[in-house]
A and B are shown apart, each in its own frame.
Chain A
Amino acid sequence: MTQPILSVRGLNVRFRGRGGGEVHVVRDVDFELAAGQTLALVGESGSGKSVTSLALMRLLPGEPRCRIGGRVLLEGRDLLYLTEAGMRGVRGNEIAMIFQEPMTSLNPVHRVGEQIAESVRFHKGLGRRDALDRAVELLELVGIPDPLRRAQAFPHEMSGGMRQRVMIAIALACDPKVLIADEPTTALDVTIQAQVLELLRDLQARTGMAMLFITHNLGVVAEIADRVMVMYAGRIVEQAAVDPLFAKPLMPYTRGLLGAVPRLDIFAKEKPPLTSIPGAVPDPAHPPKGCAFNPRCTHRQGGLCDQRTPPLEAAQPGHDVRCLRWREAMEAA
């Protein structure tokens, strides 16, 4: 593997409630991301995917309400130790982000051209005119027809797919090294989903940026990712390249996720796969003892899984798993 651009070590996020109790939402997350690579982060709702990505951007609430620990190294610089002003220079410039909800993620009172341009103006010091020209260029790049006219449009005048393209244009405005896409296609129609994915893949090929792609949808993972991280209750529970993971998932949870994917239906808008594992994600305020997955696991062994917290082990080179019984579980399959 090439030298990583982004390297995350022991990332922890804790929220403090108004009552004073602490909720540990992201636990000891480690990963690396190289230029041109796409890493998918998958997991059920509430597993901590969005919080992880927002922590990288330092977009979570401030200190008393939320504590972030660990290291987030962008080309060797620890983002968690940057000043707020220094971090602003990173956001939207070196790391950019697109969100799930294109309908609400754009400011309704500003023209889309302006919303793209302001990022360039701020980071690249371009004048108003040049920044707007750049915005039109970007609109063209993300495949919006008649970009000159569309730059003058307000968000509400565009469809969901178009708005997501605008969001992508905003994210790409300063040629970021890392793009974080938090469920960018979930809110879109199936055909539009495919187009947006295609666009992202194409743009990545052209710019060589690294991508952290968060999703519910394993079909999308197969489409776009090089490597996959599976997250459960704030922890990475399995991590591998796409093919080995799909071919030979080691963690029972991953197996549960994959087992339920109808292979042909990879762009299904609804996400039955992730809800088909019986039971629900644990409440992060009261995680179960031992392996967080044990109350739902078919391979659980009493006295073991509910006592010891499994470490993340390298089952094979480049394939890590957090399960005490991955050998037995694999044999049983």
Chain B
Amino acid sequence: MMRYLGSRLLQSILLLWIVSLIGFFVLYLAPGGPLAQFALTPGMTQEQLARIAHQMGLDRPLPVQYWEWLSRLLIGDWGQSYRDSQPVLAIIGSHLFATLLLMGASTLLAMIIGTWIGVLGAIRRYSIFDYLATIGAMIGLSIPTFWFGLIAIYLFSVKLPWFPAGNMYTVGDASFLDYAHHLVLPCLVLTLVTVAIWSRYMRSAMLDVQGQDFIRTARAKGLPEHVVLRKHAMRNAILPMITVAGLQIPTILSGALVAETVFTWPGMGRLFLDSLNYRDYPVVMGVLMFSAVFVLLGNLLADVLYAVADPRIRLT
């Protein structure tokens, strides 16, 4: 397994490098490139701009600039926000918790609901329930999340004032229940998509497992059906879902961004959009790079977990 993990690590590093190339390319697409913030300052002359460009080393060959940018990235110097001159990484850090809370809560919920929908759909294949779940999942994947959020706000915050329409906590309260109360709607919206995906994968994983010989063995032992289902079928069907969970991270992150924009949830997605509105490019680039790294590490983690969880992959 160590060899396998080693090779996965190498692959991830290679990918990280390509990701950085793409990031650098995108950065230079920005109007005015890294100079944009100064170009926007009123009364800035061409000469001044040129001088700043020279100071920033922008007149040097691209590979050199890339190398500098990358080395700063590696030592954690991700630049400073145009808005308040805070280091980018620190700003991202301060918004990370909210996003992780939202993603974590919704993923947990989606896994629980999605697992059961998928399992039920598989054991009652072609039943009305299975059919409705299939259609429901496809519609769930098709509803624009932000619109669903708006409708949820209209229904459960405006018409029926049950839940707050935005923010993560009430100033002056911020108890656990208060957080939970604020979490309900954004979590619901984000869960719509993840449940749809998760239940589909779970269903096909269960269908795969159910046809296997060892399930017949378990039945031939006379085990009750719920033991066959849980201990033998689901336990095996869940394994590949670890990888699926890893692969879903970009989708969930995108979904979180959407949910955060609709519900003014103070996470990374909200930060990203605010920074876009202010043309705060260092932060925009920072969040973009951070999310890619996050995805990469998430996939790596999923692979490691899978290797640990599956006894067929040896721990030597």
Within the complex, what minimum Cβ distance (angstroms) separates B225 from chain A?
8
Q: Does any Cβ of B come within 8 Å of A301's Cβ?
A: no
User: Which residue in chain A gives the minimum CB-CB distance to B310?
Assistant: A109
B217: A residues at CB distance < 8 A: 99, 105-107, 167, 170
Within the complex, what minimum Cβ distance (angstroms) separates A44 from chain B?
22
A197 to B202, CA, bound (A): 41
Q: In the complex, which of the residues B220, B222, B236, B310 contacts A107, with contact meaning CB atoms closer than 8 Å? A: B236
Within the complex, what minimum Cβ distance (angstroms) separates B223 from chain A?
6
B310: A residues at CB distance < 8 A: 109
B224: A residues at CB distance < 8 A: 88, 122
Across the interface, do A59 and B219 meet the contact criterion of CB distance under 8 Å? yes
Q: In the complex, which of the residues A88, A105, A173 contacts B214, with contact meaning CB atoms closer than 8 Å? A: A105
Within the complex, what minimum Cβ distance (angstroms) separates A192 from chain B?
19
User: Which residue in chain A gives the minimum CB-CB distance to B236?
Assistant: A109
Q: In the complex, which of the residues A101, A108, A118 contacts B221, with contact meaning CB atoms closer than 8 Å? A: A118
Looking at chain A, what size class is its interface with the partner chain?
A: 20 to 34
Across the interface, do B214 and A106 meet the contact criterion of CB distance under 8 Å? yes
B216: A residues at CB distance < 8 A: 59, 99, 105
B227: A residues at CB distance < 8 A: 118, 122
Q: Does any Cβ of A come within 8 Å of B232's Cβ?
A: yes
Q: Does any Cβ of B come within 8 Å of A80's Cβ?
A: no
A107 to B310, CA, bound (A): 12
A106: B residues at CB distance < 8 A: 214, 217
What are the interface flags for B176-216 relative to A under an 8 Å C-beta threshold, 1 for contact and 0 otherwise?
00000000000000000000000000000000000011101
Q: Does any Cβ of B come within 8 Å of A57's Cβ?
A: yes
A101 to B214, CA, bound (A): 10
Q: Does any Cβ of A come within 8 Å of B3's Cβ?
A: no
Q: Restricting to B219-263, which residues have a CB under 8 Å from any CB of A? A: 219-224, 227, 231-232, 235-236, 239
User: Which residue in chain A gives the minimum CB-CB distance to B212?
Assistant: A104
Q: Does any Cβ of A come within 8 Å of B101's Cβ?
A: no
A119 to B223, CA, bound (A): 7
A123 to B227, CA, bound (A): 13
A109 to B214, CA, bound (A): 11
What is the predominant secondary structure among interface residues of chain B facing chain A? helix
Across the interface, do B221 and A107 meet the contact criterion of CB distance under 8 Å? no
Also in contact, A88 and B223, with CB within 8 A (given A105-B213, A108-B312):
yes
Q: Does any Cβ of A come within 8 Å of B297's Cβ?
A: no
Report the stretch among A90-98, A236-244, A286-294 that lies at the interface.
A90-98
Q: Does any Cβ of A come within 8 Å of B311's Cβ?
A: yes
A97 to B213, CA, bound (A): 12
Q: Does any Cβ of B come within 8 Å of A154's Cβ?
A: yes
A91 to B235, CA, bound (A): 22
Q: Restricting to A119-155, which residues have a CB under 8 Å from any CB of B? A: 119, 122-123, 154
Which among A97, A104, A109, A122 has the highest number of chain B CB atoms within 10 Å? A109
B311: A residues at CB distance < 8 A: 108-109, 154, 156
A173: B residues at CB distance < 8 A: 221
A173 to B223, CA, bound (A): 13
Across the interface, do B221 and A91 meet the contact criterion of CB distance under 8 Å? yes
A110: B residues at CB distance < 8 A: 231-232, 235
Across the interface, do B220 and A92 meet the contact criterion of CB distance under 8 Å? yes
Q: Does any Cβ of A come within 8 Å of B218's Cβ?
A: yes
Q: Does any Cβ of B come within 8 Å of A17's Cβ?
A: no
Q: Does any Cβ of B come within 8 Å of A89's Cβ?
A: yes
A167 to B231, CA, bound (A): 18
Within the complex, what minimum Cβ distance (angstroms) separates A155 from chain B?
9
Across the interface, do A108 and B236 meet the contact criterion of CB distance under 8 Å? yes
Within the complex, what minimum Cβ distance (angstroms) separates B311 from chain A?
4
A100 to B44, CA, bound (A): 82
A122: B residues at CB distance < 8 A: 221-224, 227
Across the interface, do B312 and A154 meet the contact criterion of CB distance under 8 Å? yes
Across the interface, do A89 and B239 meet the contact criterion of CB distance under 8 Å? no
Also in contact, A89 and B222, with CB within 8 A (given A106-B214, A107-B236, A156-B312):
yes
Across the interface, do A104 and B214 meet the contact criterion of CB distance under 8 Å? yes
Across the interface, do A118 and B223 meet the contact criterion of CB distance under 8 Å? yes
A97: B residues at CB distance < 8 A: 220
Within the complex, what minimum Cβ distance (angstroms) separates B310 from chain A?
7
B212: A residues at CB distance < 8 A: 104
Across the interface, do A90 and B232 meet the contact criterion of CB distance under 8 Å? no
A104: B residues at CB distance < 8 A: 212-214
A170 to B220, CA, bound (A): 10
Also in contact, A91 and B220, with CB within 8 A (given A105-B214, A108-B311, A156-B311):
yes
Within the complex, what minimum Cβ distance (angstroms) separates A182 from chain B?
10
User: Which residue in chain B gives the minimum CB-CB distance to A153?
Assistant: B311
B239: A residues at CB distance < 8 A: 109
User: Which residue in chain B gives the minimum CB-CB distance to A111?
Assistant: B311
User: Which residue in chain B gives the minimum CB-CB distance to A96?
Assistant: B220
Within the complex, what minimum Cβ distance (angstroms) separates A212 from chain B?
13
A191 to B95, CA, bound (A): 66
Within the complex, what minimum Cβ distance (angstroms) separates B221 from chain A?
4
A119 to B219, CA, bound (A): 10
A146 to B223, CA, bound (A): 28
User: Which residue in chain A gives the minimum CB-CB distance to B309?
Assistant: A109
User: Which residue in chain B gives the minimum CB-CB distance to A101?
Assistant: B213
A132 to B217, CA, bound (A): 19
B232: A residues at CB distance < 8 A: 107, 110
A96 to B218, CA, bound (A): 11
Across the interface, do B223 and A107 meet the contact criterion of CB distance under 8 Å? no
Across the interface, do B221 and A57 meet the contact criterion of CB distance under 8 Å? no
- Jot down 19 A-B pairs with beta carbons below 8 A, ordered by A: A87-B222, A99-B213, A99-B217, A104-B213, A104-B214, A105-B217, A107-B214, A107-B236, A108-B214, A108-B312, A109-B235, A109-B236, A122-B222, A122-B223, A122-B224, A154-B312, A156-B312, A170-B217, A170-B221
Q: State the 3 A-B residue pairs at the shortest beta-carbon distance, nearest first.
A: A91-B222, A92-B221, A92-B222
Given contacts A107-B217, A107-B235, 10 further A-B contacts (CB under 8 A): A57-B220, A88-B224, A92-B223, A99-B216, A108-B214, A109-B310, A119-B221, A122-B227, A156-B311, A156-B312
